[in-house]
Amino acid sequence: MPLYNIACRVRPDAATHTAVAAAVTATHCEITGAPSEFVSVVLLHGHALRPGIELSVIAGVRGGGNRTPDLLARLEHSMQSAIATAAGLNPSAVEITLIEFAASWIMEGGKVLPEPGEEGTWRTP
């Protein structure tokens, strides 16, 4: 977790796909402090999008813990800018929706994820 689903009309070339996935991972980790191995990016093509929108992002992210409303607003704004830059688009062509979930609703490797900010203790055996 998080899971970033990115919908677009046409399949991007491999370099753009890689750049967008790297931008999502780097931005999420920089803003939230979450480990990069938590971040998943799915790029889906062939979708009808609203006029003016080239990429539509719906992301499920952990809420609570150290995830304040300000942090989530910064994440949304930074993610829009990073994805637009990686894809060579104007930020207004990238639509972002973040959906918060309780950490206790999510499992990775058979273990319930920790609250945001408590990853260090969770990763220790």
* Residue 13 included in any domain: no
Domain, as residue range, for 106? 22-117
Residue 60 domain flag: yes
Return left, alpha or beta for 64; rule: phi > 0 is left, psi -120 to 50 is alpha, else beta. left
Asked whether residue 125 is domain-assigned, the answer is no
**Chain position carrying tokens 């609203």:** 50
Q: What is the pLDDT of residues 54-105, one digit of tens each?
A: 999 999 998 887 888 999 999 999 999 999 999 999 999 999 999 998 877 8
What is the value of pTM for the model shown? 0.87
Instruction: Identify the bridge partners of residue 41 per DSSP, sorted by sequence position.
Output: 4
CA 105, 71, 66, 83 dihedral sign is positive
CA dist., res. 23 & res. 85, Å (int): 9
Do the domain assignments include residue 4?
A: no
Q: Which token pair is 12?
A: 């991007």
